[in-house]
Amino acid sequence: MVRLVLIACVGALLRACPLSAACPAGCECSEAAQTVKCVSKELQSIPLGIPGYARSLFITGNRISRIGPGSFRGLENVTNLSLSNNRITEVQSQAFSSLRGLRSLDLSGNQLFVIHPEALVVSAGSLRELNLSRALYNRSCIGDLAVALRWGALGSLQTLDLSGNRLVLLPSGIFGHVPNLRRLVLANNSLVVVHNGSFSGLERLELLDLTHNSLKTLGEDALGEFELLSGALLLLGENPYACTCGVEDFAAWLNSSRARVTDAERLVCSSPAALRGTPILGLGGQILGCHDGPVGEGARLALQTSYAFLGVVLGFVGVIFLFVLYLNRRGIKKWIVDTRDACHDVLEGYHYRYEIDSDPRLGHISTSGDL
Ligand SMILES: *[C@@H]1O[C@H](CO)[C@@H](O)[C@H](O)[C@H]1NC(C)=O
Ligand SMILES: *[C@@H]1O[C@H](CO)[C@@H](O)[C@H](O)[C@H]1NC(C)=O
Ligand SMILES: *[C@@H]1O[C@H](CO)[C@@H](O)[C@H](O)[C@H]1NC(C)=O
Ligand SMILES: *[C@@H]1O[C@H](CO)[C@@H](O)[C@H](O)[C@H]1NC(C)=O
Ligand SMILES: *[C@@H]1O[C@H](CO)[C@@H](O)[C@H](O)[C@H]1NC(C)=O
Ligand SMILES: *[C@@H]1O[C@H](CO)[C@@H](O)[C@H](O)[C@H]1NC(C)=O
Ligand SMILES: *[C@@H]1O[C@H](CO)[C@@H](O)[C@H](O)[C@H]1NC(C)=O
């Protein structure tokens, strides 16, 4: 009898054991929803014993500082993993590589400082969405992240959120190994420039968000980059645009790209003070005063140039004239000789007549005849 009860108890325990072990302390598990949530429980590491049925795994708002390589062993069915708002500073090599079906990884709201080159490797290249919003300790970490993006085999990544990381510059070619990216969110950083090559390799991009940055001008390089992203909608608002003479090209480009820049109407000047709040779309050269200073200078220069040109032309004509004279020197000599001869003949004629006229004998006759 006692034995039987014991066996029954052990049986119950065995049945109960997998159930109690099925959900780690501090977590809520729902087999029906295939979801495990361990939210705001001051956990210091990824809990052990997360059930294998989990597809969505939320371990958020805890105090986890490090993600090691064995953290997610046996969780082959997880598609969505959120580790947002922990205090993660280090992600080790291959930390997520056992998550074979991982499609969405949210690391937002952390302080990543040590990012190993193979930190983002997800086997089978299944990752579609990576959220690194407010995830970097400081902007110096972008270099390590660029390396991890390169080595992560993220060929199927479609969405990358890098907002709120105080980024000032993007390492050149940082997106060269995520060729299928559709959405790139760089909002709420401190980006000051878009270099030639900043977005190379993103031919499939559908949306680029650069709002809330520190862009003062978008020059030839930036506009060239945007032209390469021909299929992408652009968000460029909330930047401190400087409406000095150089902004003309940008304004013209913006006018012709209104269909792509979805917030084109909301782009306004921040400086100079006189133009603060003026929509960039409405800017014409005359408002900017670019045609008074530099163009007045230009006109003066043009005038000087035309005087110099006139001088050169006159000199040239003179040289040609002398040259023609030189070439024609025989003809001219002949003409001079002919003219002289002709004159001579005429003079001789006069001389003859004069001699006749002055012949006293004839003169006398005629004079007397006149009288
Ligand atoms: C993953 O899901 C499949 C199918 O839903 C299931 O057969 C398998 O047991 C699950 N893996 C684990 C570790 O539970
Ligand atoms: C899982 O991630 C995908 C994006 O890859 C998203 O569309 C979906 O809503 C997420 N599911 C859950 C439960 O968060
Ligand atoms: C990334 O996470 C933040 C919150 O941490 C959220 O506001 C944002 O929408 C997420 N980005 C994407 C692309 O889902
Ligand atoms: C980022 O943090 C590291 C370590 O504290 C520091 O050496 C580096 O100068 C910081 N970078 C910036 C841009 O503040
Ligand atoms: C921008 O990012 C900072 C951190 O860098 C964050 O504190 C702030 O809430 C963010 N603002 C918006 C509008 O997302
Ligand atoms: C940008 O760089 C490419 C080569 O890397 C070059 O062919 C192109 O002319 C450059 N564009 C500008 C505007 O400098
Ligand atoms: C903007 O483009 C339209 C044609 O799309 C043109 O008629 C208009 O003059 C342009 N405005 C400026 C300020 O360039």
The ranges assigned to domains in the chain are 22-133, 158-304
Q: Determine contact, residues 65/88, Cβ cutoff 8 Å.
A: yes
Instruction: Kindly state if the Cβ of 161 falls inside 6 Å of ligand 3.
Output: yes
Strands (E), 193-295: 207-209, 233-235, 241-242, 269-271
CA pair distance 240, 302, nearest whole angstrom: 36
Look at the block and give the residue holding tokens 């997360």: 50
- For residue 56, the ligand 2 atom closest to its alpha carbon is 13
Instruction: Kindly state if the Cβ of 44 falls inside 6 Å of ligand 4.
Output: no
**Domain 158-304, CATH 3.30.70.2740 — does that match?**
no
22-133, CATH topology level: 3.80.10
Amino acid letter at 286?
Answer: Q
With the most atoms of ligand 3 within 8 angstroms of its CB, the residue from 85, 133, 184, 189 to mutate is: 133
Cα 63 to middle of ligand 5, angstroms: 21
- For residue 109, the ligand 3 atom closest to its alpha carbon is 5
In this structure, which residue's CA is closest to atom 5 in ligand 6?
Answer: 197
Helix (H) or strand (E) holding 221: helix 220-228
Question: What pLDDT is attached to residue 9?
Answer: 43
Cα 239 to middle of ligand 2, angstroms: 31
Backbone angles phi, psi at 234, to 5 degrees: -120, 140
- Tell me the ligand closest to 73's alpha carbon: 1
**Angle formed by the axes of helices 360-370 and 329-357, nearest 10°:** 70
CA dihedral 289, 292, 293, 295 (to 10 degrees): 120
DSSP annotation of 352: H
Amino acid letter at 331?
Answer: G
Instruction: Kindly state if the Cβ of 76 falls inside 6 Å of ligand 1.
Output: yes
Cα 125 to middle of ligand 3, angstroms: 21
What 3-state DSSP class applies to 321?
A: helix
User: pLDDT truncated to tens, each residue of the chain (371 aa)?
Assistant: 445 444 444 444 444 444 445 799 999 999 999 999 999 999 999 999 999 999 999 999 999 999 999 899 999 999 999 999 999 999 999 999 999 999 999 999 999 999 999 999 987 779 999 999 999 999 999 999 999 999 998 999 999 999 999 999 999 999 999 999 999 999 999 999 999 999 999 999 999 999 999 999 999 999 999 999 999 999 999 999 999 888 889 999 999 999 999 999 999 999 999 999 999 998 865 555 665 544 444 445 555 556 565 555 565 556 555 655 566 777 667 766 676 676 566 556 555 555 545 554 444 444 444 44
- Tell me the ligand closest to 109's alpha carbon: 3
- Tell me the ligand closest to 257's alpha carbon: 7
Cα 165 to middle of ligand 4, angstroms: 13
In this structure, which residue's CA is closest to atom 5 in ligand 5?
Answer: 164
242: tokens are 């400087």
In this structure, which residue's CA is closest to atom 2 in ligand 7?
Answer: 255
Instruction: Kindly state if the Cβ of 168 falls inside 6 Å of ligand 4.
Output: no
Cα 346 to middle of ligand 3, angstroms: 112
DSSP annotation of 170: P
Output the ligand 2 site: residues, CB below 6 A. Answer: 56, 80, 103-104, 128-129
This prediction's pTM: 0.78
Instruction: Kindly state if the Cβ of 364 falls inside 6 Å of ligand 5.
Output: no
